[in-house]
Amino acid sequence: MTDPVIVKRPTILADGRELIYFDDADTTLGPDRAVDARVLDPRPQTATMRQDVLTGEWISIASARQNRVFLPPADQDPLAPATPTNPSEVPSNYDVAVFENRSPSFGPAIGAEYSLEELDQIGLGRTLPSIGRCEVVCFSPEHEGSFGSQTESRARTVIEAWADRTAALSALPGIQQVFPFENRGEAIGVTLLHPHGQIYSYPYVTPRTKRLVESIEKFGPHLFESILESERASERVVISGEHWTAYVPFAARWPIEVHMLPHRHIPDFAATNGEERDELAGLYLKLLRGIDKLYDTPTPYIAAWHQAPVNVARDDIRLMLQVTSPRRAENKLKYLAGSEAAMGAWIGDVTPEATAAFIREAIARV
């Protein structure tokens, strides 16, 4: 932990899953936490990955996810602090809580390690256990909200949790990549209104990152340094600080799309220092609140923190935030139709320069 004032309190849930409380630097909570007294069913079996022979990509078939809760009322929120009438996933009141997902896409098994060469082979009917770990990151005990609705102190606690979990999950045997993200809004497919994100730990390098590695091989190892220099000199910057810059990328796909990069090479959250985490807490809040100011209602989005793989290209791939939203007008969404969904050939609806100006104006109103 980089910030000694943010206290980490690990415990175990009734079915053996790990739960970690992270207390704000200015917390009002005491140190004691209740024991999870529930009687729970055994954890589901680890899902199975099947290889798509057309692309070489691995698809995890996780049927246990079909049973997850869908938009429950506040008094049945599984991420709220437990009460006598709501025996939730978090036994005590909290600031930030991180726990293993009850119905994970990867895991709960870990330990096996697939070589990258083995994973890259192509063959019919190939299957492997979906080893890994999926964690839920609760940003607040409140029933509704998002990362952008938190205080700066709370945002800093979440960032500390991301860094802590990135380091811990990267050290697990068999993990090749760690991915923190937040899905926000029913239009994105969110099934819980509670302010939260997730962290996926994959047993392979994801397809998007493999494409990035190919681009680095063609462009050169200074790709991210060059991107940052080019974007900072453009009219697409939306917000910048001493350590971070956010911008609409030159070839944005989505109607709302913002990337953020650190000014020095950092492969993942675990490698950030205290000053970078402090500044990010304020800048990231301002960015998300600005995106919410674009229209009169909150903007649905996916906030994806792309990190370097655990064992590949760590000197070349830089930690990067990508916020994307399908919202192309106040009451219109961009749906992925034939060209995008079937062929991966994107068509933008507005110039990135116009989008950047639109977002800058909104951030100025925060």
In a domain, 29, yes or no: yes
Domain, as residue range, for 38 = 7-204
- The average pLDDT across 43-60 equals 96
> How many domains is the chain built from?
2
Question: Would you name the residues annotated as active-site residues?
Answer: 196
pLDDT at 2: 62
* Residue 308 and residue 275 share a domain: yes
Question: At which of 204, 233, 260 does a domain end?
Answer: 204
* Residue 219 and residue 194 share a domain: no
162 pLDDT band (50/70/90 cuts)?
A: very high
Spell out where the chain has E strands. 7-12, 18-23, 48-51, 58-61, 96-100, 127-129, 133-138, 177-184, 196-202, 237-240, 244-247, 256-262, 301-306, 320-325, 327-329, 332-333
155 pLDDT band (50/70/90 cuts)?
A: very high
* Residue 296 and residue 231 share a domain: yes
Question: At which of 149, 174, 204 does a domain end?
Answer: 204
* Residue 180 and residue 290 share a domain: no
- The average pLDDT across 211-232 equals 98
% of the chain surpassing 90 pLDDT: 94
CA Rg value for the chain: 20
Check the CA dihedral 244-245-249-253 and report its sign. Answer: positive
Question: At which of 204, 235, 256 does a domain end?
Answer: 204
Rounded mean pLDDT of the chain? Answer: 96
- Number of helical (H) and strand (E) elements in the chain, helices listed first: 7, 16
Tell me the per-residue pLDDT of 298-350, one tens digit each, with 9 for 90 and over. 999 999 999 999 999 999 999 999 999 999 999 999 998 899 999 999 999 89
* Residue 257 and residue 232 share a domain: yes
132 pLDDT band (50/70/90 cuts)?
A: very high
* Residue 336 and residue 295 share a domain: yes
CATH number of the CATH domain containing 337: 3.30.428.10
In a domain, 2, yes or no: no
* Residue 164 and residue 237 share a domain: no
To the question of pTM greater than 0.95 for the whole model, the response is yes
3 pLDDT band (50/70/90 cuts)?
A: confident
- The average pLDDT across 240-246 equals 98
- The average pLDDT across 232-261 equals 98
In a domain, 74, yes or no: yes
pLDDT at 4: 76
In a domain, 1, yes or no: no
70 pLDDT band (50/70/90 cuts)?
A: confident
* Residue 153 and residue 48 share a domain: yes
* Residue 120 and residue 65 share a domain: yes
* Residue 225 and residue 188 share a domain: no
